[in-house]
Amino acid sequence: MPRCIDSRTRTHSRATWFCGMIGLGAALIGPAARAEHLLPTDVQQIIAQAALEASRRNAPATIAVVDRDGNVLAVYRMNGANLPFFFPNLRVVFVAPNSHGPNTGLNGVPIIDTGAVITKAITGAYLSSSGNAFSTRTASQIVQDHFNPGQLNAPSGPLYGVQFSQLPCSDVNRRSVVVDPTALSLGPKRSPFGLSADPGGFPLYKNGQNVGGVGVIADGIYGDDENIFNVDKSTDEIIALAATSGFSAPASIRADRISAGGLTLRYSDAVTSDILSNPAQATLTAALSQGVLVSVNGYYSASQGFLGGQEHGTVASGLTPDQSGAYSTVTPPLLMVNADGSVRYPARAGRIPGGLSALEVATILREAYQLTLKARAAIRNPLGSQVAVTISVVDANGEILGSVTNPDAPVFGIDVSVQKARSALLMSGPYIHDVLSLPSFTSYLTQAQSFYGANIMNGTLGFSARAIGNLARDTYPDGIGNTPYGPFGAPVSTNTPFSDGLQEALIQGDLVRHAQFLSTGTPDVGAACTRGIVPAGPNSASGQPILADGLQIFPGGFGVYRGNALIGGVGVSGDGVDQDDMTAFLGLYNAGIDLGNGLGHVRPEARVSFFATHGARPIYVNCPTTPLLNSSVQNLCTGK
């Protein structure tokens, strides 16, 4: 490796490791260790098992199977699956209506069954890893306005808002080969309707490794579980559970063996004794006599037949181990790559004069990644595991300057880490006033000004993703009944996982347009959310809006400052919201100490948390107690 020294560094060591980053964009990534993956025969068996159970229940179902990186491997619809006469060859299901008030947002909207089951399958795959297995029922528990759902005067779910990630308009997640032949099998792939809270989606495993997900819909309703205190017997979930026979998650890592905030998570209300069929007797011949593979615009062609999944962590999957040693020579992160193996987002400088340098981006990523290797995981088993997340840095226009992922981190965190970085960036800068001044969003500007005063949304205060979330709930403070809703949220009467205020309002048009594309083949959404609704950033070279993959409203994102100038954002997602917060917060703080050039967080007195309103303060950062493995150190974030 050639020796190079940056005159701004205090020692040669940091500059030397940075030399390894130079030219990474053109470097090819070598082969990864072999990973388990779904074979075409596995996919056939999974579909056959689901079809057999559905036939025993006289409940014609639609079923999808995806691999860990979101590639759709098969979509199957049984005969008699309620095909409406006004949509030939389509099966329409309905987003559940609002049970406690008028329908707003997406509540009550008709969507196509194939899009629903792909979303369910992707949810099971993306939220899971070899250390945790989460289902769509788990997702339902952690995205609602109370945790647990149905428990009054409890704060919102820890991943409130994650349902609006992996969006079909995301510029981070890739599109299928059906749309973009150059994408091949590269992940992570987009999802038709974000992430699902409708029971009936499970991850799939082989030899303890997450290899994909399965989704089922037979009941005609795409909803959620609003009452955690009862046990449902969901037809969708029972059929999906039958589908996982031989590919089920290890019991030790299922959600019901994992706690968050002192509460045990839910994995499935269905149990094996609910299954009426014998999965061992399922055959593909029987399944194909009762249904057919169906094409899905933009996702899957039935002419491809049953496909095999990719090995996660190989070039074909779109994620491979870093070979440079720039972040760790012991546990290298995964990097997103293109079809030729070149790194998709190598650490690089921002395009705006005075913005982030390549060295600064690489240092933030390295400091945050190094922290993950000694931080205690929150939602992974066995206890004492290391954190597994994705870390992303963006410039002042939201363009991605670099991203690294821990091996085995849940895939959903890739897109969400970028969302968090961009969200903190947008809300902290003066451009947010222009966005909220648009006719569709003026009510949110009015509400914010009513909360804090006329100057709240003009770039004078620094917002973190956690603080944005505090102000995007249906009660303020979060979980306290009979209080006003936050200025970016929705009232209790209309708040649901499908209608949560500004987050959903920003991308509602994108989702509705994509639903029409799935159903009728009308033009699809572009690869940038809010395009045509929100103008591009003031200095954008790409012409994309800052929120090109949507707003995110749970913790783990911060603006990046040099002195008083906002020059970018950093986001982390994947393994517990406090762990996300700590990794992003300290990664940036430690990078500033290391570089010694004024890089870091907004000064404390300029954080939105410095100012109280309605008797409470939004929280800027909340780090976990005893966060490090083999250490009893506390309060790592205090005073920074």
What are the structural domains of the chain? 40-304 (3.30.450.150), 390-610 (3.30.450.150)
At 354-407, the pLDDT tens digits run 999 999 999 999 999 999 999 999 999 999 999 999 999 999 999 999 999 999
Length in residues, the chain: 640
Residue whose structure tokens are 């017997």: 233
* Of 18-22, 105-109, 204-208, 291-295, minimum mean pLDDT range: 18-22
Phi-psi group of 438: left, alpha or beta (phi > 0 → left; psi -120 to 50 → alpha; rest → beta): beta
C-alpha span between 74 and 67 (Å, rounded) = 10
pLDDT-derived band at 87, boundaries 50, 70, 90: low
Give the pLDDT score at 180. Answer: 67
What are the tokens at 279? Answer: 């999965």
Per-residue pLDDT tens digits for 572-620: 999 999 999 999 999 999 999 999 999 999 999 999 999 888 889 999 9
**CB of 515 within 8 A of CB of 194?**
no
Number of C-beta neighbours around residue 313 at 10 A: 22
Residue 266 CB burial class (10 angstroms; 0-12, 13-18, ≥19): buried
Token pair of 248, please?
A: 């089920």
Residue 182: predicted pLDDT: 63
Please determine, for residue 14, whether its predicted confidence score (pLDDT) is greater than 60: no
Model confidence over 483-510: pLDDT tens digits?
999 999 999 999 999 999 999 999 999 9
How far apart (Å, rounded) are the C-alpha atoms in residues 205 and 133? 9
Please report where in the chains the tokens 């009467």 appear, as a residue. Answer: 493
pLDDT of residue 533: 87
CA–CA–CA angle 345, 347, 349 (5° rounding)? 110
DSSP state of 152: T
DSSP state of 189: B
What is the rounded average pLDDT for all residues in the chain?
92
Q: What is the pLDDT of residue 57?
A: 97
In this structure, are residues 496 and 108 in contact, taking their beta carbons and an 8 Å threshold?
A: no
Q: Which residue has the higher pLDDT, 2 or 339?
A: 339
